[in-house]
Amino acid sequence: MTFSSIIVIGFFGSSVLIALVVGLIHSKALARILTIGYTLLHLAFTAFSWLHLNETVLDYFTFDPLGVLLLSVLSLLTVTTVYHGFIYVKDAKPRIYTIYHAALIALIAAMSGAYLANGMTTVWIFVEATTLAVAALIYHDRTSVALEATWKYVFVCSIGIALAYLGILFLGFTVHDARLLHLSFSSIIDIARMANPLYLKIAFVLVLVGYSTKMGLFPMHTVTVDAHTVAPPPISAFISTTLMNVGFLAIFRIYALFSATTVLPFMSHVLILSGSLSLLVSAGYMLKAKHNKRMLAYSSLENMGIVAIALGIGGIGYYAAILHIVLHSLTKAGLFYQIGISYKVMGTYDLDQSGNYMTLYPAGATALLLGFLCITAIPPSGMFLSELYLLKAMVHSGNWILLTYTALMLCFVIYALLIRVLHIVYSKPREKPLHEPQPVNPWQTLTQYLLFGMVIFICFVQPAPFREVLESIVQTLPK
């Protein structure tokens, strides 16, 4: 057994052991210590992954550039999410406190496995594990609304990943060579070369629809919107970023594997259609959103639509899609953290009961305005570059109608977000909040400034190693 194999086994074995100990021993102090220790362990595992880039371990995991890049985003957001989680659940009962952190550790481990998995079976196992872990976190507040959202999430996501796996199995049934039936990504390449193009189209549609439950794309976006609304803000930040990245990665891998076949134009059209409808739905619902977290949830739908369109356009759109995924993760996490803080200050998530945030908490209001600039891709946001690359790809491919449509939908989204954010920051509440405001430590806002600062930094400077990683991810795709 190689040293790398021992490290991987040790990481996932430790993840299971720590989650079990935290969940079964209802001690807040022990849960805090082990959760901090696990966060450090994950950071070390991510560093190890970079040192062993493109290495395959145990036949089930490969440290490929995209997987390791998203693992790095997860590691960074694990630090901030654990920090805000400690604050959010500090007054919870020991049993609720420990279940929260046990499920959080399990979720982080499952997402890590999904990023590094090099076969559809392995991906399926880890994605299903994320569903179970997220379900426990969505139900954290133990309300009837949380229970409904939890069951809906488990039911829809389970059906979704079953559809995705059915698509791959459908291909497997067409092959009689037993060596290809383990469904590793390398074997899927061989299957795709031999399979009827009709089977490839069916498989891709099933995979797209199935993993859209995680990525939050139309038509399976509703389950993630409901989950965002009721989950604790730190968990909403995870669901809207790192977990959506899991769905994107699963779809991207199949797209990349099938891209060398004749179904590439079909896949591109399907992605563009799904992304365009996602933009339309997000713009429509955001214009009437009255819940602050739900507003951000529809923003995530809009951004995943942008990613899908960029992937479907191809060319420089591939680069734009990967860059957008990374920057969206940092920006949206910061916004959900800030919305969680605003709940304490204003006593509500309801838009009509929100207001005067600049007076009540200037540091948080400034962070919210900065986050608005970042998420709407207004310079100096780094997301301006990814959307600019997308528009450039549309011009190069001659998709003028799609360019016009996308620009129009983005205008609606920016308008909807602008009037809501400005109302929260400057206007008086239309209704009296139901809860009394709580004091907030200004240090809680520091994480948002750091995340938004990274997004702004990328607008001006893309470090050579970062740019090289993105280029290595897209270089195998069709030009």
pLDDT in tens, 442-474: 888 999 999 999 999 999 988 889 999 999 998
Most trustworthy range by pLDDT among 58-62, 72-76, 213-217: 72-76
* 432 shares its domain with 293: yes
Closest CA to 389 of 328, 309, 477: 309
Express each pLDDT in 424-437 by its tens digit: 999 888 877 766 77
**Running DSSP on this structure, what letter comes out for residue 58?**
T
CB 174 within 8 A of CB 261: no
Q: Are residues 365 and 415 in the same domain?
A: yes
Q: What is the pLDDT of residue 4?
A: 85
At residue 178, does pLDDT exceed 60?
A: no
88 or 121, higher pLDDT: 88
DSSP state of 262: T
What predicted TM-score, i.e. pTM, was given to this entire model?
Answer: 0.93
Q: Measured at the alpha carbon of residue 344, what is the angle toward residues 338 and 346, in degrees to the nearest 5?
A: 95
- Gap between the Cα atoms of 236 and 325, Å rounded: 16
Q: Are 310 and 317 in contact (CB under 8 A)?
A: yes
Q: What is residue 119's three-state secondary structure?
A: strand
Alpha carbon distance 200, 195 (integer Å): 7
Q: Look up the domain containing 341 and give its range.
A: 263-479
173 pLDDT band (50/70/90 cuts)?
low
Q: What pairing do the DSSP bridges indicate for beta strands 56-57 and 61-62?
A: antiparallel
More confident residue, 106 or 163: 106
279 and 234 within one domain: no
Which residues share a beta bridge with 413?
none
pLDDT at 19 over 80: yes
Taking residues 25-29, what's their average pLDDT?
A: 90
pLDDT class for 289, splitting at 50, 70, 90?
A: confident
Residues 338 and 451 in one domain: yes
Higher pLDDT, 225 or 415: 415
- Do 217 and 98 belong together in one domain? yes
Least confident of 49-63, 70-84, 212-226, 356-370: 212-226
Q: Are residues 364 and 315 in the same domain?
A: yes
Helix (H) or strand (E) holding 241: none
Model pLDDT, residue 438: 75
Residues 432, 437, 440: CA angle, nearest 5 degrees: 150
pLDDT surpassing 90 at residue 40: yes
| Percentage of the chain exceeding pLDDT 70 | 96
- Give me the torsion for CA of 105, 108, 110, 114, rounded to 10°: -170
Mutual angle of helices 242-258 and 197-215, in 10-degree steps: 170
Check whether residue 303 and residue 221 sit in a common domain: no
For residues 17 and 125, give the distance between their C-alpha atoms in angstroms, rounded to a whole number: 18
Taking the alpha carbons at both ends of the chain, their separation in whole angstroms is 39
Say how many domains are in the chain. 2
* Whole-number Å distance between alpha carbons of 407 and 434: 38
The verdict on 227 and 314 lying in the same domain is no
Domain boundary among the residues 262, 282, 317 is at 262
pLDDT tens track for 122-154: 888 899 899 989 988 988 888 888 888 888 888
Statement to judge: residues 126 and 159 lie in one domain: yes
Mean pLDDT of the residues in the chain: 88
pLDDT of residue 154: 85
Q: How far apart are the C-alpha atoms of 27 and 258, rounded to whole Å?
A: 49
Measure Cα distances from 430 to 52, 260, 353, 372 in Å. 56, 56, 6, 22
- Confidence band for 172, pLDDT divided at 50, 70 and 90: low
Most confidently modeled of 160-174, 380-394, 438-452? 380-394
Q: How far, CA to CA in Å, does 142 sit from each of 81, 136, 225?
A: 20, 10, 18
- Integer angstrom CA distances of residue 222 from 113, 217, 227, 380: 25, 9, 9, 31
Q: 3-state DSSP: the chain helix, strand, coil percent, rounded to 5?
A: 80, 0, 20
Burial class (CB in 10 A: 0-12, 13-18, 19+), 205: middle
Query: Token digits for 190?
Result: 């061989």
411 closest CA partner among 387, 427, 393: 387
What was the pLDDT predicted at 374? Answer: 93
Residues 60, 194 within the same domain = yes
Which is more confidently placed, 370 or 56? 370
**Residue 191 shares a structural domain with residue 296:** no
What is residue 142's predicted lDDT score, i.e. its pLDDT? 82
CB atoms within 10 A of CB 3: 10
For residue 473 the two structure tokens come to 């991810």
Query: Rounded CA gap, 362 and 433, in Å?
Result: 19
214-223, 245-254, 376-385, range with the lowest pLDDT:
214-223
Q: Which of 239, 262, 285 is the last residue of a domain?
A: 262
- Asked if 441 and 324 sit in the same domain, the reply is yes
Q: What are the CA-CA distances from residue 342 to residues 323, 348, 354 (Å)?
A: 29, 8, 9
Vertex 397 angle, CA 193 and 275, to 5°? 75
Helix (H) or strand (E) holding 57: strand 56-57
Q: Can you tell me the distance from the alpha carbon of 424 to that of 416, in angstroms, rounded to the nearest whole number?
A: 13
Distance of CA 276 to the CA centre of its chain: 19
Q: Is pLDDT at 75 greater than 70 in this prediction?
A: yes
Choosing from 215, 244, 262, the residue where a domain stops is 262
| Residue 337 reports pLDDT greater than 90 | yes
